[in-house]
Protein backbone atom coordinates (compact mmCIF):
# COMPACT_ATOMS: atom_id res chain seq x y z
CA UNK A 1 0.00 0.00 0.00
CA UNK A 2 3.05 2.30 0.16
CA UNK A 3 3.47 2.24 -3.63
CA UNK A 4 2.03 5.25 -5.47
CA UNK A 5 3.48 4.86 -8.96
CA UNK A 6 4.29 1.24 -9.86
CA UNK A 7 6.67 -0.22 -10.74
CA UNK A 8 8.45 1.00 -7.64
CA UNK A 9 11.46 -0.32 -5.70
CA UNK A 10 11.19 -0.56 -1.91
CA UNK A 11 14.75 -1.01 -0.58
CA UNK A 12 15.52 -2.26 2.92
CA UNK A 13 18.53 -3.10 5.06
CA UNK A 14 18.54 -4.72 8.50
CA UNK A 15 20.83 -5.89 11.30
CA UNK A 16 19.69 -9.05 13.10
CA UNK A 17 20.80 -11.35 15.87
CA UNK A 18 20.34 -14.94 14.68
CA UNK A 19 19.88 -17.50 17.48
CA UNK A 20 21.86 -20.76 17.36
CA UNK A 21 20.28 -23.37 15.07
CA UNK A 22 17.29 -21.14 14.34
CA UNK A 23 15.86 -18.44 12.09
CA UNK A 24 15.66 -14.77 12.96
CA UNK A 25 12.76 -14.61 15.42
CA UNK A 26 10.70 -12.03 13.54
CA UNK A 27 11.01 -12.77 9.81
CA UNK A 28 12.82 -10.09 7.84
CA UNK A 29 10.13 -10.11 5.15
CA UNK A 30 6.81 -11.97 5.26
CA UNK A 31 4.20 -10.58 2.88
CA UNK A 32 0.93 -12.46 2.30
CA UNK A 33 -2.32 -12.02 0.37
CA UNK A 34 -0.96 -9.68 -2.28
CA UNK A 35 -4.12 -8.81 -4.18
CA UNK A 36 -3.56 -7.35 -7.62
CA UNK A 37 0.17 -6.85 -7.13
CA UNK A 38 3.23 -8.58 -8.50
CA UNK A 39 6.28 -8.55 -6.21
CA UNK A 40 9.86 -9.27 -7.12
CA UNK A 41 12.45 -9.84 -4.38
CA UNK A 42 15.81 -8.78 -5.77
CA UNK A 43 19.23 -7.30 -5.07
CA UNK A 44 19.93 -9.42 -1.98
CA UNK A 45 23.29 -8.80 -0.32
CA UNK A 46 24.50 -10.38 2.93
CA UNK A 47 27.63 -10.72 5.01
CA UNK A 48 29.55 -13.78 3.82
CA UNK A 49 29.17 -16.53 6.40
CA UNK A 50 29.07 -20.26 5.68
CA UNK A 51 26.91 -20.82 8.80
CA UNK A 52 24.06 -18.60 7.58
CA UNK A 53 21.42 -19.85 5.14
CA UNK A 54 18.95 -17.67 3.28
CA UNK A 55 15.35 -18.82 3.55
CA UNK A 56 13.54 -17.40 0.53
CA UNK A 57 10.07 -18.56 -0.53
CA UNK A 58 7.46 -17.33 -2.93
CA UNK A 59 3.94 -18.62 -3.54
CA UNK A 60 4.68 -22.36 -3.82
CA UNK A 61 8.45 -22.68 -4.05
CA UNK A 62 11.67 -21.74 -2.30
CA UNK A 63 15.31 -21.13 -3.05
CA UNK A 64 17.06 -24.47 -3.71
CA UNK A 65 19.43 -25.63 -0.95
CA UNK A 66 22.43 -25.50 -3.28
CA UNK A 67 22.03 -21.71 -3.59
CA UNK A 68 21.05 -20.60 -0.10
CA UNK A 69 24.36 -20.35 1.81
CA UNK A 70 25.35 -16.75 2.60
CA UNK A 71 29.02 -17.55 1.95
CA UNK A 72 28.23 -17.82 -1.77
CA UNK A 73 26.54 -14.44 -2.11
CA UNK A 74 28.23 -11.09 -2.77
CA UNK A 75 29.40 -9.48 0.42
CA UNK A 76 27.85 -6.20 1.50
CA UNK A 77 31.35 -4.72 1.71
CA UNK A 78 32.62 -6.22 -1.55
CA UNK A 79 35.26 -4.21 -3.39
CA UNK A 80 35.28 -6.69 -6.27
CA UNK A 81 31.63 -6.14 -7.09
CA UNK A 82 29.60 -3.33 -5.56
CA UNK A 83 26.46 -4.93 -6.98
CA UNK A 84 24.06 -7.14 -5.11
CA UNK A 85 23.32 -10.59 -6.42
CA UNK A 86 21.58 -10.77 -9.75
CA UNK A 87 18.75 -12.75 -8.25
CA UNK A 88 15.00 -12.31 -8.46
CA UNK A 89 12.10 -14.16 -6.90
CA UNK A 90 8.66 -13.38 -8.34
CA UNK A 91 5.54 -13.61 -6.14
CA UNK A 92 1.84 -12.92 -6.50
CA UNK A 93 0.45 -14.41 -3.25
CA UNK A 94 3.29 -14.69 -0.71
CA UNK A 95 6.89 -13.49 -0.40
CA UNK A 96 9.14 -14.60 2.48
CA UNK A 97 12.79 -13.86 3.31
CA UNK A 98 14.64 -14.79 6.48
CA UNK A 99 18.04 -15.98 7.70
CA UNK A 100 18.88 -19.30 9.41
CA UNK A 101 21.93 -19.90 11.61
CA UNK A 102 23.20 -23.48 11.25
CA UNK A 103 25.95 -23.06 13.87
CA UNK A 104 25.76 -23.78 17.59
CA UNK A 105 26.41 -20.17 18.62
CA UNK A 106 24.34 -17.01 18.24
CA UNK A 107 25.42 -14.64 15.45
CA UNK A 108 25.03 -10.98 16.40
CA UNK A 109 24.38 -7.97 14.18
CA UNK A 110 24.25 -9.91 10.91
CA UNK A 111 23.62 -7.49 8.03
CA UNK A 112 21.52 -7.95 4.93
CA UNK A 113 20.01 -5.65 2.33
CA UNK A 114 17.45 -6.31 -0.39
CA UNK A 115 14.83 -4.68 -2.53
CA UNK A 116 11.22 -5.47 -3.37
CA UNK A 117 9.89 -4.30 -6.72
CA UNK A 118 6.11 -3.77 -6.64
CA UNK A 119 4.07 -3.64 -9.83
CA UNK A 120 0.43 -4.02 -10.80
CA UNK A 121 -0.58 -7.31 -12.39
CA UNK A 122 -0.95 -6.83 -16.14
CA UNK A 123 -2.59 -9.16 -18.65
CA UNK A 124 0.80 -10.41 -19.84
CA UNK A 125 1.76 -11.25 -16.23
CA UNK A 126 -1.50 -13.13 -15.70
CA UNK A 127 -0.94 -15.13 -18.89
CA UNK A 128 2.61 -16.01 -17.83
CA UNK A 129 1.55 -17.02 -14.31
CA UNK A 130 -1.59 -18.92 -15.34
CA UNK A 131 -4.04 -16.57 -13.60
CA UNK A 132 -7.62 -16.63 -14.90
CA UNK A 133 -8.47 -13.58 -17.01
CA UNK A 134 -11.76 -11.68 -16.80
CA UNK A 135 -13.80 -11.09 -19.99
CA UNK A 136 -12.18 -7.73 -20.82
CA UNK A 137 -8.68 -9.12 -20.30
CA UNK A 138 -9.49 -12.21 -22.38
CA UNK A 139 -10.64 -10.01 -25.27
CA UNK A 140 -7.44 -7.97 -25.02
CA UNK A 141 -5.29 -11.11 -24.92
CA UNK A 142 -6.92 -12.44 -28.10
CA UNK A 143 -5.96 -9.32 -30.09
Mean pLDDT of the chain: 85
Look at residue 24 in the predicted model and tell me its pLDDT: 96
CA dihedral 85, 26, 129, 1 (to 10 degrees): -100
Bridge-based pairing of strands 29-32 and 94-101 is antiparallel
> How confident is the model over 88-112, as pLDDT tens digits?
888 989 999 999 999 999 999 999 9
Q: Looking at residue 79, what is its pLDDT?
A: 58
Domains (ranges, CATH) in the chain? 8-142 (2.60.120)
Note if the bond before 114 is cis, omega within 30 degrees. no
According to the model, what pLDDT value does residue 21 have? 96
Q: What's the number of CA atoms in the CB half-sphere (13 Å) around residue 45?
A: 15
- pLDDT beneath 70: ranges in the chain: 1, 64-67, 71-86
Position 143 scores a pLDDT of 79
Burial 19-58 (b: 16+ CB within 10 A, else e): eeeebbeeebbebeebeebbbbbbbbbbbbbebbbbbbbb
The pLDDT score that the predictor gives to residue 129 is: 83
Amino acid sequence: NRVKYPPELLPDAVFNDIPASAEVTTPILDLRRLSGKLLRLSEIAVERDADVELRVRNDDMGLPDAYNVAGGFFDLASIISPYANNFQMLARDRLYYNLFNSSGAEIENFRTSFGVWVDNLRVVDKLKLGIVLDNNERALAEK
